Amino acid sequence: MFAAQEDCFQYLQQGELLLGLFGEVGPLCWVAWNVPTVRSGWIQGLRSLAQHPSALQFLADSGAIDTIFSLQGDPSLFVASASSQLLVHILALSMQGEAAGYPCLQGGAWPMCAWKIVGHLEESLCATGAPQVTQALNVLTTTFGRCHSPWTEVLWEQLCPLVARLLERATIPAAHSLVDLLLNVARSPVFSSADCGLWGTVTEALNCLSPLQVGPLAVGMLKLQHCPQALRAQALGVLLQLLACVLKATAQAPGPPGWLDRTEGSSLTVDALLSSKAACVGVLCQTLAHLEELHPLPQRPAPWPQEPLLSAAVTVLRLCRGLVAPSSSVGARLCATFAGCVRVQRAALDFLGTLSQGTSPQDLVTQVFAVLLEYLESPDSSPTVLKKAFQATLRWLLSSSTSAGCSNLSPHTLLFLRELFTVLQKRLCSPGWEVRDSALEFLTQLCRHWGGQADFRQVLLASEAPALARQLLQDPESYVRASAVAATGQLSSRGLQAAPKGSEHLQAQQDLLGDLLHILSTDSEGFPRRAVVQVLTEWLKDGHAGVAQDTEQFVATVLQAVSRDLDWEVRVQGLELAQVFLAQTLGQPCCSYAVALPTVTPADRLPTVLRTLCRLRLLDFAFHALLDCDRPVAQKACDLLLYLRDQIDACGGLREVGDSPDLSSVEAALQRWRAGEQGQPLGDMEPEAVLAILRSMDLEGLQSRLAQGSEHVEKSLQSLLQDMLATVGMLENEADCY
């Protein structure tokens, strides 16, 4: 037993836990071996010990490697993963010195430690059980992902035949792990110009793996710059197989000649897919997600089949709603499989939105808007599907306006907008709060992008959408109230807010400001209050008429509310508003405090500025926030005060005015805060006192400590060892703190 815990820390922290296991403290550690935390600590100790070159031979001889092999199958996933990571670490370290000058190092000349690991991997790859195969594949995947030295080419040449034989089994074991391995080998720069049997193995995998397993491998190959062209064509054919089936089954052309040559003769795979609804839906959703991932990449296949893909996406969406008459038995089975499937609808709408970034013929674009309107109108559309439909609609609208290349909207777009706002008004009155929320978010985005466009303004103001958005400020659901705040704020910024007949524009803005301040002061939920402060911050930045009429009173009212708000996000946003006002008062552009500002405030203005900040309680709010128990609030306050101090110093500080400031009352207030009376106000302070306080504080040190947080303590080696010791000590009471 240890005489003291410090002795244990000394052993473990020096990376000598292995010696302890088989030496002085063996009995203690074997008693604790059933605790996952102790096994994990043993692995961490070995990792530290393995840093010493002389220890690698000891690891091979002492049996420690065999123990690591056994821990790969540990019931604790954390321990099993750590043991595999350690094998990779030891293998890389053992090869580091030996292979430095031998780019063509032969396996027989490898160090004993590395040779034992490779032998274990060979045995595991030949095992009949899937767990052993999975463990070996995981070690190899990590190895080729981290190690890019010449010896990895030799390693792959030796193990590639064993990996390829896995594809010959009736049931391929650990298919997902096999795909991960092939992808990591293909991505390694070592194999950018070498083959080593890799591309042949990938070709065979594309032929043998099931459609659900092969998707990640196909898309991974298509992302590689150096993938052979024939293999890229095969991967694209595999990826598009089901979409080609959809187009053919609905009597639509599958695309340009040669587009999907590889799908010929794949009826057995399609029949197998259609026999299982879950498999068919899973493959289709995976395919759409992979294509969405490929679409923006420069290395995507060229030419990119934009039109067939767009036609397939529209067809899938219509199949889900029973709007396509099948032309074959396969088409009928597809209709039955996809009918009402929310998962497919969500994936197809996401993909449809992505395709808005391509060039498409007008007739297909018209079909796109038609199917989107069908989904927005349909009472059968679920809230999540409706949200996706709104998002896709926005992307296509923005794309159509960009491609038009003019300030006016096209006749097709204008016609769609009129129909769209009719639907939007109904959705704003929906009994489902999720639908009302999505409709408000959509309205906000439309106004943000098109609020200054004359045709859009005319269509919007002819609808009831602005008035309905204003009414939803009183919605019983807090999420909807928050979205209504954002929508009405955006409408007001663009001069599109709802106003009673005969009322003045400015009065309408003042009324809305009063409503938002009422929500900030009285709403019981945090989401609407956060939304209010965000809107008011944007209004302050943009010089909104309702704010500009009396900016100081506006800022004082908002800060009074946010300073006592219990929601830390509201307080953080309140500090952001304070920073915007501070920058404007100093005559600076509104930007992050971290950016060096190009202009300097005249020194003779600083006393007036500081007195204004004190009078509005802005500095009071910032100093209190500096001691906030929520770290993001304290960080924001620290950044703000640093910004203010730097601005004062940049213009040479304050001129000497009168005697030195009397800081006794301020120091007393600071002491009360530290004692827990954070509610005590600072009161009015002279500019010299403010400057003295700012210079007396170690704001840089506080900023550094706040940025560091607590993770460095929780994840430290000492913390891990303390957990281990506490666990071992609790074994006497048969308690497992892990």
What's the pLDDT tens digit per position in 344-383?
A: 999 999 999 999 998 889 899 999 999 999 999 999 999 9
Considering only 247-251, 254-258, 527-531, 665-669, which range has the smallest mean pLDDT? 254-258
Mean pLDDT, range 543-556, rounded to an integer: 90
pLDDT band at 572 (very low <50, low <70, confident <90, very high): very high
- Angle between helical axes of 606-615 and 687-696 (0-180°, round to 10): 90
Rounded to 5°, the CA angle 215-84-96 comes to 105
pLDDT at 503: 58
**Higher pLDDT among residues 571 and 409, named by residue:** 571
- 50 has pLDDT over 90: no
pLDDT band at 21 (very low <50, low <70, confident <90, very high): very low
Listed in sequence order, the residues at least 6 apart from 307 whose beta carbon sits closer than 8 Å to its beta carbon are 255, 360, 361, 364
**Higher pLDDT among residues 417 and 603, named by residue:** 417
pLDDT band at 275 (very low <50, low <70, confident <90, very high): confident
Q: What is the largest CA-CA distance in the chain?
A: 96
**Higher pLDDT among residues 648 and 655, named by residue:** 648
Question: How much is the pTM?
Answer: 0.83
**Higher pLDDT among residues 41 and 346, named by residue:** 346
**Higher pLDDT among residues 141 and 410, named by residue:** 141
- 55 has pLDDT over 80: no
- 411 has pLDDT over 80: yes
pLDDT band at 571 (very low <50, low <70, confident <90, very high): very high
Q: Is the peptide bond before 303 cis (omega within 30 degrees of 0)?
A: yes
pLDDT at 138: 95
Mean pLDDT, range 196-205, rounded to an integer: 92
Asked whether 61 and 18 are in contact (CB, 8 A), the reply is no
Considering only 208-222, 403-417, 541-555, which range has the smallest mean pLDDT? 403-417
Which range among 15-29, 506-520, 581-595 has the greatest average pLDDT? 506-520
- 56 has pLDDT over 90: no
The DSSP string of 603-667 is: GGGHHHHHHHHHHTTHHHHHHHHHT-SSHHHHHHHHHHHHHHHHHHHHTT-----SSPP--HHHH
Residues above pLDDT 70, as percent of the chain: 77
pLDDT at 719: 60
Give the pair of three-digit tokens for residue 422: 């009719």
pLDDT at 140: 97
- 25 has pLDDT over 50: no
Considering only 70-84, 109-123, 268-282, 511-525, which range has the smallest mean pLDDT? 268-282
What sign does the CA torsion over 685, 690, 691, 693 have?
positive
Q: Which bin fits 498, alpha (ψ -120 to 50), beta or left (φ > 0)?
A: beta
Cα–Cα distances in Å, from 535 out to 497, 544, 546, 549? 14, 11, 12, 17
- 16 has pLDDT over 50: no
pLDDT band at 269 (very low <50, low <70, confident <90, very high): low
Mean pLDDT, range 668-692, rounded to an integer: 64
Mean pLDDT, range 281-300, rounded to an integer: 94
pLDDT at 27: 45
Which range among 114-118, 302-306, 487-491, 689-693 has the greatest average pLDDT? 487-491
Considering only 205-214, 405-414, 725-734, which range has the smallest mean pLDDT? 725-734
Q: For 292-349, what is each residue's pLDDT tens digit?
A: 999 999 988 888 999 999 999 999 999 999 888 777 788 888 888 899 999 999 999 9
The distance from CA 286 to its chain's CA centroid, rounded to whole angstroms, is 19
Looking at every residue in the chain, the average pLDDT score rounds to: 82
**What is the Cα–Cα distance from 287 to 446, expressed in whole angstroms?**
30
Task: Pick the closest to residue 218 from 235, 203, 232, 196 (CA basis).
Answer: 235
The distance from CA 486 to its chain's CA centroid, rounded to whole angstroms, is 23
Asked whether 217 and 205 are in contact (CB, 8 A), the reply is yes
pLDDT band at 266 (very low <50, low <70, confident <90, very high): very low
Considering only 220-234, 338-352, 495-509, 676-690, which range has the smallest mean pLDDT? 676-690
CB neighbour class for 235 (10 Å; exposed up to 12, middle 13-18, buried from 19): buried
Give the pair of three-digit tokens for residue 110: 């490898």
Q: For 573-625, what is each residue's pLDDT tens digit?
A: 999 999 999 999 888 655 444 444 445 556 677 888 888 888 898 988 998 89
pLDDT at 459: 93
- 80 has pLDDT over 90: no
**What is the Cα–Cα distance from 305 to 289, expressed in whole angstroms?**
16
**Higher pLDDT among residues 52 and 724, named by residue:** 52
Residues above pLDDT 90, as percent of the chain: 48
Number of C-beta neighbours around residue 711 at 10 A: 8
pLDDT band at 485 (very low <50, low <70, confident <90, very high): very high
CB neighbour class for 494 (10 Å; exposed up to 12, middle 13-18, buried from 19): middle
pLDDT at 5: 40
